[in-house]
């Protein structure tokens, strides 16, 4: 017996298999191309994000350098603000010492010496915000001391002082001079605008 091969039957099967493999090749090619595009997109996205990261890192370094450089100016500014506050507080509590010093000196030390050398000097003056003062006067002669004590008892000093008291009196030897300590309250200076 002879065998026959039905080529038509096998051909149909072959064409079906060929179509399946053809579709499988197209699908594989599509998946490969899609994967290639996906990988290229991820690469560009990654390089873009790395560039953004580098840019942000550079910005951060620049800002940190600026902050470090500005710290010195900030310290100077803080120091200036502290000094300004101190100055404003000092002005608020200022006694106007120079004017009161001159007023006290003119009132307590008139021309009590007979010659050109002074017989009394204002040595020390403490003045507070309430215009209370303590003063030390050094007198070089007995006659100058007597004139000073008479002058302190004079009623004309009531125009300058609200209160005036002799606290202590000391005699120093070698060279001979007298320390007179006086306390009181000076009246306010009338400022003329």
pLDDT tens for residues 60-94?
Answer: 999 988 888 888 888 888 999 999 998 888 777 77
Please tell me the predicted confidence (pLDDT) of residue 37: 94
Please tell me the predicted confidence (pLDDT) of residue 28: 95
What span, in angstroms and rounded, lies between the C-alpha atoms of 59 and 51? 12
Consecutive 10-residue averages of pLDDT for the chain (193 residues)? 62 80 94 94 87 88 87 87 88 77 83 59 86 90 85 83 87 86 87 44
What span, in angstroms and rounded, lies between the C-alpha atoms of 48 and 54? 10
* Residues 145 and 139: beta-carbon distance below 8 Å: yes
97-108 vs 142-152: helix axis angle to the nearest 10? 110
Query: CB 107: neighbour CB atoms within 10 A?
Result: 19
The secondary structure of residue 110, as a DSSP letter, is: -
Can you read off the two tokens belonging to residue 10? Answer: 């096998």
Please tell me the predicted confidence (pLDDT) of residue 88: 86
- Chain-centroid distance, C-alpha 77: 5
In 3D space, the residue among 118, 173, 175, 174 whose CA is nearest the CA of residue 148 turns out to be 118
């Amino acid at each position: 017996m002879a065998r026959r091969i039905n080529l038509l039957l096998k051909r149909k099967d072959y064409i079906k298999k060929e179509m399946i493999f053809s579709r499988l090749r197209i699908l594989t090619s599509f998946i490969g191309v899609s994967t290639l595009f996906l990988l290229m997109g991820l690469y560009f996205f990654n390089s873009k994000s790395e560039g953004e990261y580098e840019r942000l890192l550079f910005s951060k370094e620049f800002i940190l350098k600026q902050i470090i450089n500005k710290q010195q100016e900030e310290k100077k500014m803080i120091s200036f603000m502290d000094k300004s506050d101190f100055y404003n507080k000092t002005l608020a509590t200022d006694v106007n010492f120079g004017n009161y010093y001159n007023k006290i000196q003119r009132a307590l030390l008139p021309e009590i010496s007979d010659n050109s050398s002074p017989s009394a000097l204002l040595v020390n003056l403490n003045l507070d915000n309430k215009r209370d003062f303590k003063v030390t006067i050094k007198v070089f002669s007995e006659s100058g001391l007597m004139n000073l004590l008479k002058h302190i008892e004079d009623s004309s000093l009531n125009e300058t002082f609200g209160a005036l008291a002799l606290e202590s009196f000391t005699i120093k030897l070698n060279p001979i001079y007298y320390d007179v300590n006086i306390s009181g309250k000076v009246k306010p200076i009338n400022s003329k605008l």
